[in-house]
A and B are shown apart, each in its own frame.
Chain A
Amino acid sequence: MKRREFLTVPVKGLGGVLIYSLAGEAIRVQAQDGVVRVPLRFFNEAEARTVQAACARIFPADDSGPGATEANVIVYIDHQLAGPWGADKHRYTKGPWVESMPEHGYQGKENPREIYRAGVAKLGGDFASLALAAQDERLRAIEKTLFFQLLRTHTIEGMFSDPLHGGNAGLIGWQLIGYPGPLMSYRDEIDKYHGMPFEAKPRSLEQVVGRKVVGWEDEKE
């Protein structure tokens, strides 16, 4: 078995969300100096740092609010890649592999895990330690690649999907956009909140239904 890898993340970002290992065991994370060590399922620590830094450039913390690092987007991506989706368990992967026109979508053989491994390597092992402007330059150089498109999509998903998937820690993402969470009923609101914001403290799916919800990535096949 491979050595268990950890990533250190700010404890604020964790927002009290439990972290589960690939085997599904709840890991009791110890807070030291406002940081915790999160077990990684797919990335090694160096890769996770690179991806984390790249996501932080895509969705930065700035004067408009917190960003990808604070929302634990990296944990979301790590879980997705470790799960069945990362291994293309739901994509048609029989050959022959041929290239086609854009209207036929991605026809490549590489699965998301492989695309990430290669993409992260291309960003360079020093990526996380570069100055921000230099990081942006490297990202601009790969802007048109499938890897970057995945990274951008996953950053948004990690910001705004339910925290059961590991991102959107402390419901930071939903607070940013004023999304109340899966509240189950707007029967009394839908014809009243016309043109004005619906301000409710966001709640996660688990908080709404009152029990643990297992994401697809955690489901035993």
Chain B
Amino acid sequence: MQRLKPVDVVIVGGGFTGLLMAKEITARTSRSVVVLERGPARTNGQYSAGMDELDYAVRLRMMQNLADETLTHRHSAKASAVPVRQYGSFQPGTGTGGAGEHWGALSYRFGPDVFRLESDLREKHPGSKILENVTAQDWGVTYDELELNYYRAERMMGVSGKAGNLRGQKVEGGNVFEGPRSQEFPLPPHKTSYVADRFRTTARDSGYHPYPVPSATLSQTYKNPDGITRAGCQYCGYCTRFGCMIGAKAQPTNLLLPLVEHKKTFALRAGCQVRRVLHRDGMAEGVTYTDSAGNEFEQPARVVILSSWTLNNVRLLLLSKLGEPYDPATAKGTLGRNLTHQVSGNVRFFLNEYLNTFMGAGGLGFAIDDFDGNNAFDPAAGLLRGGQLRMQASGEGPLAAFGHIPPGETKAVWGSEWKKAALKWHDKSSQISFEGGHFPYRQNYMDLDPTYTDKFGDPLIRLTLDWTDHERAQTDMAIRVGSEIARRMGAKVGASRGVGARYSVTYYQSTHIQGGTIMGASPERSVVNPCSQHWKTPNLWITGGSTFPQSASGNPTLTMLAMTYRAADAMIDRYFKHPGALA
């Protein structure tokens, strides 16, 4: 093991939040920053080389190679876990930019109640049986305190949308259920695709409040406050799971990397997998890593920032024996608790018209929040909180689009009859999708797997995770409302999918996995303080979804970036001046 020259800050993971941290620190201080990224180096503009649906959307060429490292899953602490051998209900990223390169760019703010969910649930549903094992928590930071950082993140990326709540004034055409915004979106909404338009008019005529999905794909050319100019989106449809060929989608390689890569105080080492966080007497001392040639290094640092996405943030701390692992039997220990995914479902529908679903952009679409959060409260159905219903036009390639046939047409799944039906209905179907907030439960958590290991022989992370009746009630509601809307659109309703009897790793749901190193107001029940600083190791900071005490219905990345700005301010303005615990 070679011991390297100490640096001021080492960041584990060169993804969205890691590079944002690096950019803020190098722009505002003279401290040296080294980013260690396990995956390949990527550059701005490299996506013009050409990407196709099979390699990128089916074989998932940009994602973590599961042969090197995966996770294991079991439904309860009584069962033994098995490895997720092929993708999967979510798709972790790798390489410069992380999953931020191939994300869908839906850029939601969380509602104010999500930041104080424990208090909110206690006030609204005292003594509810549904909440018996729910371990929701307040974040220790409120929506109002985060609002300006939300706006900072929206301006950095150039989020396109329409405000529905401007300083408390409801604005028609926007999301009237959202928290108050101090400013309108940086950019106006996108053009509207056919299915999204049909959904919008039908939802509106049904008395709901459709709004354009906020999206970090640019509706027009935009220059952000950092001086980065990007072209407007072309609706090419090769968006989610792809890098944008023209840079219209907000990606770390086009927003952040160009600002740091030439700095003397910055270095990014790709192909370097961090294995342990070194620590002694309540202080982090650096990290150890293995490069792509198999050489082992120790990188001492004054500050360590974990930005390696939810699973590895938690796994690295467990491997490094830094913190007390959570035990579901006693509910003691903070590291690994409050694992959440997102509650998703969909309703397929058929219209006897050409929909051109290959046109689109990751975040393009319309949605309603009329059944989100407390709006969905339905005691008879066992439902406390709901989620969003959306009609997205993300751009469907022919492999994803082919083979959807309305019920009753044919029983065949191959052969002439099937082929005819599939050709007849091709591009005449789409789906209304649902994303709901997932409650954290006492029984859902992360720890190290006792059996399975990665390519280095280190234990994999183990997810103990299953759905409860509440999540089933959420998707039952979504299927009912979604089907109603589809029928009113004049469509024939096809197959629908809820969370089902058991959590399944076999189909994609969303790459929104949260918890494990959660944020909170007290060290007894959380790992980091509301500045994202480790409670017990003040020179260790953590960014990303692992700090979320619970999931929300909206997609999480905008909130991660807003929290990262907040962490950067706390570190730069306070910690660097007076190192020590901030809260």
Chain A contacts to B: CB under 8 angstroms:
57-60, 62, 64-65, 67, 85, 88-94, 96, 98, 100-107, 136, 139, 152, 155-157, 159-162, 164-165, 173-174, 176-180, 182-187, 189-191, 193-198, 205-206, 208-209, 211, 213, 215-216
Contact = CB atoms under 8 A, between A and B. Distances in A.
Contact of B416 (A64, A96, A185, A194): A64
A91 B86 contact: yes
A92 B191 contact: no
B54 interface: yes
Contacts of B504: 102-103
A191 to B, nearest CB: 4
Nearest to A54: B414
A157 B55 CA distance: 11
Nearest to A165: B54
Interface residues of B, number: 66
B58 to A, nearest CB: 7
B535 interface: no
B419 A92 contact: no
A186 B359 contact: yes
18 contacts: A58-B414, A58-B415, A90-B66, A90-B67, A90-B86, A92-B66, A101-B502, A104-B73, A157-B399, A161-B52, A165-B54, A176-B423, A179-B358, A186-B235, A195-B353, A197-B354, A213-B50, A216-B55
Interface stretch (B77-85, B302-310, B468-476): B77-85
A92 B50 contact: no
Contact of A160 (B48, B360, B402, B420): B402
Contact of A98 (B82, B232, B245): B82
Contacts of B355: 195
Interface in B486-503: 502-503
Question: Which 7 pairs across A and B sit closest by C-beta, in order of nearness?
Answer: A185-B234, A103-B504, A186-B359, A161-B54, A160-B398, A194-B194, A195-B353
A193 B356 contact: yes
Nearest to A183: B236
B5 to A, nearest CB: 33
A182 B236 contact: yes
B194 A106 contact: no
A136 B356 CA distance: 34
Contacts of B82: 98, 100, 104, 107
Contacts of B83: 92, 94
B32 interface: no
Contacts of A89: 65, 67
B414 A57 contact: yes
B505 A85 contact: no
A92 B54 contact: no
A67 B59 contact: no
Contacts of A100: 82
A190 B423 contact: no
Contacts of B413: 152
A208 to B, nearest CB: 8
B236 A157 contact: no
Given A60-B415, A64-B423, A156 B402 contact: yes
B451 interface: yes
Contacts of A180: 358
Nearest to B82: A100
A220 B399 CA distance: 25
B453 interface: yes
B54 A162 contact: yes
Nearest to A208: B50
Interface string B381-402: 0000000000001000011001
A180 to B, nearest CB: 7
A172 B76 CA distance: 49
A85 B86 CA distance: 11
B61 interface: yes
A198 B359 CA distance: 10
A156 B399 contact: yes
Contacts of A94: 83, 452-453
Interface string B444-459: 0000000111000000
A103 B52 contact: no
B238 interface: yes
B557 interface: no
A153 B342 CA distance: 28
Nearest to A151: B414
A92 B84 contact: yes
Contacts of B17: none
B58 A157 contact: yes
Contacts of A182: 50, 52-53, 236, 238
Contact of A164 (B52, B84, B88, B453): B52
Contacts of B84: 92, 104-105
B248 to A, nearest CB: 10
A177 B419 contact: no
A215 B415 CA distance: 29
A174 B453 CA distance: 43
B520 to A, nearest CB: 32
A198 B237 CA distance: 15
Given A60-B416, A177-B427, A184-B234, A90 B358 contact: no
A185 B413 CA distance: 33
A138 to B, nearest CB: 13
